[in-house]
Amino acid sequence: MTSRRGFLKQGGIALFGVGLMGGIPAFLAEAAASGNKIINPFQRRKIMVTIFQRGAMDGLMAVTPFTDENLKKARPTLFMTAAQGGKTKPLIDLDGRFGLHPSMAAFEPLFREKRLGIVHGIGSPNNTRSHFDAQDYMEAGTPFNKGTASGWLNRAVGLLGHEAATPFQAVSLTSSMPRSFYGDNPSVSISNLQDFDIQMGGNKNAANMAAKSFEDLYGQATSSLLKETGKESFDAVKMLQKNDVRNYRPAAGVAYPNTALGNSLKQIAQLIKMDVGLEIAFAESGGWDTHFNQGTENGPFARNVADLSNSIVAFWSDISQYQDDVTLMTMTEFGRTVAQNGTGGTDHGRASCNFILGNDVNGGLVHGDMKPLIKENLEDGRDLAVTTDFRAVFSEVADKHLKINNDKKLFPDWKGEKIGVMKA
C-alpha cells in the first residue's frame, strides 16, 4: 500500500485536545515524535463531490430535446414539451432546444447563473447494456479492461500531488466501499458519521479500553485488509471526536430532502465545514432503472429528479462559504432507449446526460453533440449515441478543479479531447 501512513508530514497536533486515548491519532503522534514542523494540516483544498445515479438515468427525460419530433413519436406517452398549456407541466426551456424536467426547477437558477453545466450524449465507448458491467467500467475508468483493480477516484486520490493529512481525504457516504474507491490509496466509507466510534454503552472508560484493545489487535492482524482498514478506522474515530457530529445544523433556510441522497450530501457538507481535509467525496442515488411506468410530470422518474436536484441545491446553499472550493458532478452508467418500451418505461440504452456544478464550471450550457434522433443517428438503430466519452468530462473536471493532469494514470488507454465543460 503506497504511503498509506504517509499522512502527516505537517501534523496538526494542536487541533486534538481530549478524546479517545489522549485523542492523538497515530499518524499525528508519529509526526510529532519525528519532529516534523507542525502547521495546519487541513489547509483548504479543492473538493470534488461525485454522485453516482445507479440504475441508468433516462437523460432524454431529464434534459429533453423537446423540438425533436422523432422523440415525440418514439415516446407517445412519455414525451414532455416545453410548450405551455399542454397536458403536463411544461419543461423548463434552457436554450430553445433542451428542456429541463419540471421537477428539477431548483436547478434553473444555477443554470442561469452559469454555474451549472450539462453534458448531453455522455457515455461509455463500451456498448454494454449491463448495469453491472457499465458501472464497473465507469467506476474503474477503463471501459475495455475489466482487470483494472483500482477505481478512478482512488487513483485520483493518489494523483492529488500531496500526501493525505487526514483519513478523511476521500470519503464515500455509503455503507460499503464503492468500486470507484477500490484501491491502495486511503479512503473511508461510512453511511452515518455518528457511527464512527467504539461504543460501550455510554461508558467512556470502558469504550476507551475496548478501543485500545481493538486497535492493538488490528494493528497486529495478519490479514493486511483487516490491518489497514483497522488503522484507518481508528484514525478517523479520533478525528471526529472533537466535532459535534450529532447536532449538526445546516445553514439557515437550508432543508435537505429526507432521502438517502439528501442525508449523504448533508454529511458531506458537514465534513467540508469541519475542515477535516476532505478532497474527494462520493454519494449514491438509486431507483433510476425505470423499465416500468416511469411517469412524466409525476411518477418514479419525477420523484427521482426532484430528489436529485433538491438535494444538490440544498447542499450547495449549505456550503455557501465554500462554493469556490467545491465542484459537484453526477454520473450514471448509461442512458435509456429513445423509444419507450411496452410497459410505460424505457429499457437499457447508451448515452445519457450529466450535471456539473461549481464556480469554475463553464455553466449555463448544454454541452455535447446531440444529433436529431432519426434512426440513422441512433446507436444500433435504437439508442441515443454516445458523442462524449465520460472520461473527457471526468478528466477535465479533475484537471481544472483538482489540478490532476496525469490522464495517463487517471484514465489509462484514453487519449481523447476535452470538451470545455470547465472554464479555461
Partner 1 sequence: MKSPVKYFLSLVALLSGIFVLSSFLSADWSVAPSFKFPYKKAGLTERQAAAHLLSRFTYGATPGEIDEVVKTGLEKWFEQQLDGNMPDDSLTTLLAPYDAMKMTNTQVANVYPRGGQALRMAIKDGVINKDSAREDRKEYRNELNAYMASKGLKPMQELYRQLYNQKVMRAAYSHNQLREVLTEFWLNHFNVSTTKGDAAEFIPAYERDVIRPNVTGKFGDLLLATAKSPAMLYYLDNFTSSGASANQDNNKQFQARMKAMEEQAATNPMMAEMMDKVIKGKKNSGLNENYAREVMELHTLGVDGGYTQEDVTQAAKVLTGWTVYPMSEYGGGANTMQQLARIGDDDKLKAKGYYHDGDFLFTPNRHDNAEKTVMGKKFSPAGYQEGVELLDMLAHHNATAKFITRKLAVRFVNDNPQKSLLDKMTKTYNSEDGDIRKVLTTMATSPEFWSASALREKTKSPFELVISSVRSLNATITQPYQLYSWANKMGQRMYGYQAPTGYPDKGQYWINTGALLSRMNFGLALASDRIPGVKIDLAALNKNREPESPEAALLTYSKLVMPERDVTATVKQLTPMLNDPNLGQKVAEAASKTPPPTLPAAQSDMMMSGGQEMMAAGAEPKEPKPNAGRRNGYQAQTNNKGNNTMLAQVVGIIVGSPEFQRR
CB atoms near residue 412 (< 10 Å): 14
Q: How far apart are CA 169 and CA 157, in angstroms?
A: 8
CB of 253 to partner 1, least distance (A): 23
Q: How far apart are CA 40 and CA 31, in angstroms?
A: 13
Output the CA torsion sign for 174, 388, 322, 238.
Answer: positive
Is residue 108 within a helix (H) or strand (E), and if so which, with residue range? helix 108-112
Q: How far apart are CA 366 and CA 103, in angstroms?
A: 18
CB of 173 to partner 1, least distance (A): 10
Nearer to partner 1 among residue 85 and residue 202 (C-beta): 202
Which residues between 143 and 172 bind partner 1 (CB under 8 A)? 167
Nearer to partner 1 among residue 289 and residue 325 (C-beta): 289
Task: Please report whether residue 191 would count as binding partner 1 according to CB under 8 A.
Answer: yes
The 206-245 contact track toward partner 1, x by CB under 8 A, reads xx-xx-xxx-xxx-xxxx-xxx-xx-xx--xx--------
CB of 408 to partner 1, least distance (A): 26
Q: Is 70 exposed, middle or buried (0-12, 13-18, 19+ CB in 10 A)?
A: middle
Which residues between 350 and 409 bind partner 1 (CB under 8 A)? 380
How many binding residues for partner 1 (CB under 8 A)? Answer: 82
Which residues between 258 and 317 bind partner 1 (CB under 8 A)? 258-261, 284-292, 294, 300
Nearer to partner 1 among residue 298 and residue 343 (C-beta): 343
CB of 335 to partner 1, least distance (A): 14
Nearer to partner 1 among residue 332 and residue 395 (C-beta): 332
Of the candidate residues 135, 169, 310, 388, the single one contacting partner 1 (CB under 8 A) = 135
Task: Please report whether residue 201 would count as binding partner 1 according to CB under 8 A.
Answer: yes
Of the candidate residues 32, 177, 248, 297, the single one contacting partner 1 (CB under 8 A) = 177
- Give the DSSP per-residue string, 194-251: GG-S--STT-HHHHHHHHHHHHHHHHT-SSHHHHHHHHHHHHHHHHHHTS--TT--PS
Cell numbers standing for residue 276: 477535516
- Chain centroid to Cα 399, Å, comes to 16
Of the candidate residues 84, 205, 247, 320, the single one contacting partner 1 (CB under 8 A) = 205
Cell numbers standing for residue 210: 475496548
Nearer to partner 1 among residue 84 and residue 205 (C-beta): 205
DSSP 85: T
Nearer to partner 1 among residue 199 and residue 321 (C-beta): 199
The 328-347 contact track toward partner 1, x by CB under 8 A, reads ------------xxxxxx-x
Q: Which positions ≥6 away from 280 have C-beta within 8 Å?
A: 47, 48, 50, 153, 156, 157, 169, 170, 171, 187, 402
Which residues between 43 and 62 bind partner 1 (CB under 8 A)? 53-56
